[in-house]
Structure 1
Amino acid sequence: MHIPFKKQCAAVIIGAAVLAGCTKSLDQQPQASATRDAVFGSEAGLKLYTTSFYDILPDINTPFRTDCNLSDYGAVNAVPDYIRTGVYSAQSEAKGNWSWTALRNVNYFIVNNINPTVPVATRDNYTALARFFRAYFYFEKIKRYGDVPWLSKPLAVNDSLLYAKRDSRVLVIDSVIADLDWAASHIIAGEDATRSTITQNVILGFKSRVCLYEGTYRKYRNDSLPGSTDLLTQAAAAAKAVIDGGKYSLSMGTQSYRNLFINAAPVTAEIMLADLTSSSLGKMNDANWYFTSATYGSRFSFTRDFINTYLQLDGTAFTDVPGHDTMTLAHETQNRDLRLGQTIRLAGYTRVNNGKTIAAPPVFSYTYTGYQPIKWCLDDMYYDAGALNTNSVSLMRYAEILLNYAEAKAELGQMDGSVWAQTIGALRTRAGIANANTLPVNVDPYMKSRYYPDVTNAALMEIRRDRAIELCLEGFRWMDLTRWAHGDLLLKKWNGFYVPALNVPMDLNADGVLDVCFYQTTAPANPVAGVTYVNVGPTVGGVTNPQQLANGTYGELHWQDATPRTFQPFMYLYPLPITAIQLNPNLSQNPGWGQP
C-alpha cells in the first residue's frame, strides 16, 4: 500500500486512461497514450490501475496527527481555529476538501471494467476493490459534510450532474453499504502477510466502522433519520464475521500494546491494514519529530482528565482513590492499566542517545501538561531529527473490531458476559487489569460527570472508556464525539499534572533526579543543574501567561484557559467551501455557516 514505485509505474497508463475519459467521447483516444484495452484487457492492467486507489487512504502521518488536530483529550500549542470563538467560517474551509477527482478515477474504472477477454471473477475482484474505495471516499465526505451528491459514474465535461444537488445522507450511506456488501462478496484476495492491501476482512471491518458510526449518529443526534437499529445490527454482524473468521487475535506480552505502533513490520496477529515505510524508497513517517520537537509539531500532550480514566490494575477506578487529585505524576501513574505506560512517558521509560540508554522523563520544552506521548515514537533519539521513522502505521486493527462489536451489542441491548469477555475483557486482560471479564453493573461517577452525563448503562460507559484509551492517537476521537453528540467536550480545559508548590524542583519519573521546577515572575537565582524552569506566573511580558497553576501557587497545570472557545451543534458538520457553492449554485450550505 502507498508504495511509491507502484504509483509511478501506474501513473502513465492510468493518467492516459483517465485523460481519455475526460474527452466528450470515450472513443477519442489521445495520441501516444495507452488505450482502454491496454488497461482493461488484462489482469495486469486491472491490478496496475487499482493500485492508484490506495491514495484515497490517509497519508502515513495522518492517523497519529488527526487526534492532535481536534480532540478533547489533549493540549496543543494553540486552540484549534475550528473551536476558537469567531475564527472559523465558510471562507476558512479549504476547497481541496471538496475534491472529487479520486472518485472520478474510481468510477471510470468501474464503468470500463467490462472487457470480456478477462474472466468475470477476475474483473469482479478488481471492481470489488474499486467499490470498497468508493465507499471509503464517500464515508469521509459524509463525516465532514453530511449530505453530498451521490455519483456512480464518471462525468463528462457537459454532464448535468456536474451541477447536482446534495443527496440525503440516508441514500448515500445505503449506497456505501451496498458497495461494501458487493465488495466483500466478490473480492478474491485472501489474507495479505504485509497487511498493506484490501482483503475481505478489511472490507468487513470497515463496514462495522461505517455502520457503527451512522447507527449511533442517528441515535444520538436527534436528526429524525431512520434506521439506527438496523445499522447497529449490521455493525455487530460485520464485526462478528471478522471475529468468527479466526484470522486475528490480540498480541500479548508486557509491551504488546506499544509494539503495535513501533514495529517496522505490522504485527500480523492484530494489524489488519497498515501503511508501510521503506528505507530503500525513502518513505518514512515523522512521528518522533512530531512528538518531540518544540517547533515542528503541535506539541500534543494528554490532559489529566483523560489520564484519570485509566483504571488501576486491580480493576477499580483511579478517581475512587482518596487524594488522587493531589498526587504528583510519579505517584499517580503507579499500578495503572499497562496501556498508560505504553502511551506516555512514565517511570522507567528510557531512550537511546548516541548508543547510550538514558532516563527520559517528560520534557517541558515540548509538553504543556506533563503527559507526553510515546505511543508512535521510537526510543532512539536519532529519529527525532526529521521524517526518519521506520515504524509502520496502523489503519485498522483487530482491537477496533472488538470495540465496534462491543459497542454495537451494548447499543442494541444485547451485551452479556460472553460478549464482554470476548471484547472489552480481552482488551483489559492484555492491559493487566484484574477481574477484566466481569461485566460492570455500576456507572462510574467520574465518567458520568466529566464525560457522558447522558449514559446510564454501565457497560456502555466502560466501552467508551476503553475505546478512548485503546484507540487514542489513532484518529478516531473527533469521529466518536460527533456520533455521540458530545462536541461539547472540545470545550474542556486543558489540565496537566499536579504541582504541590512553587520553587520546589520535582522528580517526574522517580529516578532520584530532579527534572522540572515551576516559578512565578523571576527564575531562581541559583538554578539546579539539569532542571527545567517553567514560569507559571499570571503574566509574561505584560500579557496573560497561557500556562498557569489552577490555584495560583499550586494545583494542576493549565494551558490556554484564556483563549475563548465555542462549539455549537451545527459544527458537527463542516461548511462547504465557498468556491464549491459558487461553481455549483444547486449546492446548499450546511445550516449555521451562513451563505456566501
Structure 2
Amino acid sequence: MKRLFYIPVVALLFSSCELNELPKAGATEDDIFGSESGLKNYSNSFYRNITSGSDAYKGDAMADYSAVNSLNDFMVGGAYSAEISSGWSWTTLRNINQLIAKCNSPKLSDAIKNNYIGLARFFRAWFYYEKVVRFGDVPWVDHPLAVDETDILKAPRDSREAVMKHIMEDLDFAYANITNTGGDGSTVNKWTALGLKTRIALFEGTFRKYHKLNLATQPEVFFQMAVDAGKILMENGPYGLNISADPKTSQRQLFTSNTPVTKEVMLAVTFSKDLALLNDANWWWTSATYGPRLSLVRPFINSFLNVDGTPYTDRPNFQTEEFYEECQNRDLRLSQLIRTPGYSRNGQPAPPNFASFTYTGYQPIKYTLDDPYYDNGGYNTNAVPLMRYAEILLNYAEAKQELGTFNEADWSKTIGALRSRAGITSGTNTLPTKVDTYLKNTFFPEVNNPVLLEIRRERQVELALEGFRFNDLKRWKLGPLMANLPWTGIYIPALDKLIDIDHNGTPDVVFYDGSKSAPSITVPAGVAKVAIGGKSTNFQTMTSDNHLEWFKAVKRTWDDNNKQYLYPIPSAAIVLNGNLTQNPGWSK
C-alpha cells in the first residue's frame, strides 16, 4: 500500500529552502520535465507538503471543545509573539512553481502537460489557502524566483483580495485539466479540486462577512463559488455518504479502515505496515503522557441531538443525568466519537478511562483502533481522511443558506442525509423552524435563523476532531469561545461513591475531596481514584452543580480586537524584508 506522502528521489533534486535559492539537480531537466513518468514522480512530492495525517488527527488539539493537559502558547496572554511565530516558509511553493514553469516539453501532449500543471496549481492553491488563513495578506509568487529578482524578494505583501483571486484561478484550472476522475482515495483528482474550492470559498466568504472586510469582492461572490462547485460535484461526482450494514459504525469506519473508503473519502493519507509507514493515532489519543489527554467538553456533547431529532437539552433533567443516561437514545455519531456504554476493546468493556486519560469523561475514539496493541507507539495502519464528501454537503448547505437560497430539497440532500445516516428519525426532510436556545446561547449568540443554527450544529458534530474547528471559529468571528467555553464534564452525583460509569456491574471510578489524602471508602483494585480540588496543582475541580471541570485555574485568553484571528509575521522574516508589515496587534 502506498502512503500518500511518499517522496520520490527525483523530486528531491529540486528542493530548496528559500524563494531565491537555486535548485540542486542531479538529473537533467529533460529527465524530469520531458517525460510523463518524470512529471508524475516530481508531482508526487507535493503530497508531503499539504496537511499531513498527523495534522489531521491532531488538528483539534487547540479548539474550544478540546480540554487538554496544557495550553498552547497562543491561548495564554502574552506567551505568543512574533519572535516564536512560524509558518513563513516558501520551499513548497518554489518546488511547485518549478513544475509549472518548466512543464513545456514539445515531446509531451498538451493534455499531459496541463494535467500535471493542474496538479501543481491544485497544491499551490492549498498552500496559499493555508498561508492566507494563518497570515492574511501574503506575497503572491507564481514562478521560481531568480536571485536577482529583488523587487519581488523585498516586496510588501500582496493583498488578500489578489491572492484569493489567484487561488480560485488555480483551482478552476486544476478542475478543468486534471485527467484523473477516480482513484484509490490517496491521490488528487478533478473532484478533489472542486471539493477544495468549496472549502476555501466558504471560508473566505464567511470571513469577509463576519469580519466586515471592506474588499472589492463581496462575500456573496464566494458563497456562490462554493455553491456552484458543490453542485457540480454532488450531481456529477462519484461520491456519496458511506452507509454500512450497521449504522452504528458508518461514520467511524471512515477513520479506522486501513484503506480509504472511497465511497465517501475524497483524499486521505494512507499507511502500510509492510512499508514501515505508520501513524501514532492510538498512542497520541490513549497515552497518559505522549498526547495531550484531549477530552471533549460537556457543552459540545450537549449539542448532539436525541435520536428522534429533538435537542438533548430539551430533556427536563438533562443537567443531572449521569453518563449512562445521557448517552441513551442519542445521535449515533456520539458513540462513534467517544467511549459510551457498551464500547469494548478486545471483547472487554472499556468505559472512559479516568485512571490515565480523560479529564471530563468524554474520551474520543474517532481515530483509534480498538485493539490496545496500538496504544504504545506508532503502530497504526488506518488511513486518515483529509477530505470527504460529508464536508462538501456541509460547505454547500452553509454557503447556500448564507445566500438565502437554501430550501427544503437542499436540506434533505445535505443536513437531512447526514442526520439519517446518524440514525436520527425525524426532521430530516423538513426545514427547522425553531431556534434551539441552548445551542444559540452557548455557541452562536449572533445567529437567529434556525436553519443556519442547525447547519452549524451539524458541522460541529459531523466534523468533530477533524481539524476544522479553530478555522471555523475564526471565520465566524467566534474566537472568544476559545477562552470562555467551560471545560466541564460528566455529572457526579456524590463524592466518595463507587460509580459504575457504563452500568456493566463493575465500578470504574470514585471521586473524592482532594484536600484529603484518599477516599473515605474502601476502593477495590482497578477502580480509578480521582481527586477533586484541594491542591494548588490540581486542575480537576467540580462545578457548583456537580459537573467535572478541568483547568479552570488557568486562564485562557482571546483578544477579540482582531489580533488572534491572524498569526504574527515571524520577526525574522521582517528583519530580512523591511517592507513586510506586521499584523494588527502584534509588535515587530
Q: What is the TM-score of this pair, normalised by structure 2?
A: 0.95
Which of 108, 114, 129 pairs up with 1:139?
A: 129
Which of 501, 525, 529 pairs up with 2:525?
A: 529
Given residue 523 of structure 1, which amino acid in structure 2 is its aligned partner? A
Does structure 2 retain, via aligned residues, the 8 Å contact 1:18–1:105?
no
Give the C-alpha shift of residue 90 in structure 1. Answer: 1.5
Per-residue CA deviation, residues 460-502 of structure 1 (Å, 9 max, x unaligned), is 1001001001001111001100110001110122111111111
User: Matched residues in 2 for 1:295 and 1:431: separation?
Assistant: 33
Corresponding residue for residue 176 of structure 2: 185
Which of 27, 36, 56 pairs up with 1:43?
A: 36
Give the C-alpha shift of residue 3 in structure 1. Answer: 3.6
2:485 is equivalent to residue 497 of structure 1: no
Which of 356, 370, 387 pairs up with 1:379?
A: 370
2:100 is equivalent to residue 110 of structure 1: yes
Given residue 371 of structure 1, which amino acid in structure 2 is its aligned partner? Y
Give the C-alpha shift of residue 530 in structure 1. Answer: 2.0
Give the C-alpha shift of residue 18 in structure 1. Answer: 10
Does structure 2 retain, via aligned residues, the 8 Å contact 1:507–1:513?
yes
- Aligned residue for 2:448, secondary structure, equals coil
Which of 119, 135, 138 pairs up with 1:129?
A: 119
Which of 154, 166, 176 pairs up with 2:144?
A: 154
Which of 464, 474, 488 pairs up with 2:480?
A: 488
- Aligned residue for 2:137, secondary structure, equals coil
Which of 69, 72, 75 pairs up with 1:83?
A: 75
- Aligned residue for 1:394, secondary structure, equals strand
Per-residue CA deviation, residues 401-422 of structure 1 (Å, 9 max, x unaligned), is 0000100111100111100000
Which of 163, 174, 178 pairs up with 1:172?
A: 163
- Aligned residue for 1:256, secondary structure, equals coil
Alignment of 1:340-379 (within 5 A): 340-352=334-346, 357-364=347-354, 365-379=356-370
Corresponding residue for residue 551 of structure 2: 560
User: Matched residues in 1 for 2:264 and 2:3: separation?
Assistant: 22
Runs (5+) with no aligned partner, structure 2: none
Corresponding residue for residue 328 of structure 1: 322
Give the C-alpha shift of residue 547 in structure 1. Answer: 0.7
Per-residue CA deviation, residues 426-454 of structure 1 (Å, 9 max, x unaligned), is 00000011112221011110011101111
Change (3 A) 1:18 1:576: closer
User: Matched residues in 2 for 1:358 and 1:204: separation?
Assistant: 44
Does structure 2 retain, via aligned residues, the 8 Å contact 1:2–1:54?
no
Give the C-alpha shift of residue 54 in structure 1. Answer: 0.9
2:194 is equivalent to residue 204 of structure 1: yes
Does structure 2 retain, via aligned residues, the 8 Å contact 1:330–1:509?
yes
- Aligned residue for 1:117, secondary structure, equals coil
Which of 402, 408, 415 pairs up with 2:399?
A: 408
Corresponding residue for residue 440 of structure 1: 432
Corresponding residue for residue 395 of structure 1: 386
Give the C-alpha shift of residue 2 in structure 1. Answer: 7.4
Corresponding residue for residue 470 of structure 1: 462
Given residue 534 of structure 1, which amino acid in structure 2 is its aligned partner? V
Query: Which segment is superposed worse, 41-50 or 208-217?
Result: 41-50
Give the C-alpha shift of residue 12 in structure 1. Answer: 5.5
User: Matched residues in 2 for 1:46 and 1:197: separation?
Assistant: 15
Give the C-alpha shift of residue 158 in structure 1. Answer: 2.2
Runs (5+) with no aligned partner, structure 1: none
Which of 302, 308, 328 pairs up with 1:308?
A: 302
Give the C-alpha shift of residue 6 in structure 1. Answer: 4.8
- Aligned residue for 1:134, secondary structure, equals helix
Change (3 A) 1:395 1:588: same
Query: Which segment is superposed worse, 142-151 or 52-61?
Result: 52-61
Does structure 1 retain, via aligned residues, the 8 Å contact 2:267–2:386?
yes
Count of aligned pairs: 575
Does structure 2 retain, via aligned residues, the 8 Å contact 1:2–1:55?
no
Does structure 1 retain, via aligned residues, the 8 Å contact 2:10–2:27?
no
Change (3 A) 1:363 1:12: closer
Does structure 2 retain, via aligned residues, the 8 Å contact 1:2–1:275?
no
Per-residue CA deviation, residues 303-342 of structure 1 (Å, 9 max, x unaligned), is 0000000000111001011110011111111000000001
User: Matched residues in 2 for 1:199 and 1:348: separation?
Assistant: 40
User: Matched residues in 2 for 1:56 and 1:529: separation?
Assistant: 48
Corresponding residue for residue 57 of structure 2: 64
Does structure 2 retain, via aligned residues, the 8 Å contact 1:79–1:560?
no
- Aligned residue for 1:322, secondary structure, equals coil
Corresponding residue for residue 7 of structure 1: 7
Does structure 1 retain, via aligned residues, the 8 Å contact 2:5–2:48?
no
Give the C-alpha shift of residue 268 in structure 1. Answer: 1.2
Give the C-alpha shift of residue 11 in structure 1. Answer: 4.1
Query: Which segment is superposed worse, 501-510 or 203-212?
Result: 501-510
Given residue 376 of structure 1, which amino acid in structure 2 is its aligned partner? Y
User: Matched residues in 2 for 1:10 and 1:280: separation?
Assistant: 23
Does structure 2 retain, via aligned residues, the 8 Å contact 1:249–1:270?
yes
Query: Which segment is superposed worse, 283-292 or 393-402?
Result: 283-292
- Aligned residue for 2:572, secondary structure, equals helix
Per-residue CA deviation, residues 370-428 of structure 1 (Å, 9 max, x unaligned), is 00001001000000010101100001000000000100111100111100000000000
Give the C-alpha shift of residue 528 in structure 1. Answer: 2.1
User: Matched residues in 2 for 1:328 and 1:178: separation?
Assistant: 53
2:203 is equivalent to residue 213 of structure 1: yes
Per-residue CA deviation, residues 263-314 of structure 1 (Å, 9 max, x unaligned), is 0011111111110001111111111111110000011010000000000011
2:235 is equivalent to residue 235 of structure 1: no
- Aligned residue for 1:496, secondary structure, equals strand
Does structure 1 retain, via aligned residues, the 8 Å contact 2:19–2:91?
no
Change (3 A) 1:291 1:54: same
- Aligned residue for 1:197, secondary structure, equals coil
Change (3 A) 1:103 1:350: same
Does structure 1 retain, via aligned residues, the 8 Å contact 2:224–2:399?
yes
Does structure 2 retain, via aligned residues, the 8 Å contact 1:83–1:565?
yes
Given residue 35 of structure 2, which amino acid in structure 1 is its aligned partner? S
- Aligned residue for 1:395, secondary structure, equals strand
User: Matched residues in 2 for 1:118 and 1:295: separation?
Assistant: 53
- Aligned residue for 1:91, secondary structure, equals coil
- RMSD across aligned positions (CA): 1.8
Which of 568, 572, 579 pairs up with 1:575?
A: 568
Given residue 519 of structure 2, which amino acid in structure 1 is its aligned partner? P
- Aligned residue for 1:273, secondary structure, equals strand
Give the C-alpha shift of residue 510 in structure 1. Answer: 1.5
Structure 1 stretches (4+) deviating beyond 6 angstroms?
17-21
User: Matched residues in 1 for 2:432 and 2:344: separation?
Assistant: 36
User: Matched residues in 2 for 1:81 and 1:252: separation?
Assistant: 41
- Aligned residue for 1:92, secondary structure, equals coil
Corresponding residue for residue 512 of structure 2: 519
Given residue 470 of structure 1, which amino acid in structure 2 is its aligned partner? E
Give the C-alpha shift of residue 87 in structure 1. Answer: 1.3
- Aligned residue for 2:58, secondary structure, equals helix
- Aligned residue for 2:511, secondary structure, equals strand
Given residue 481 of structure 2, which amino acid in structure 1 is its aligned partner? L
User: Matched residues in 2 for 1:480 and 1:224: separation?
Assistant: 20
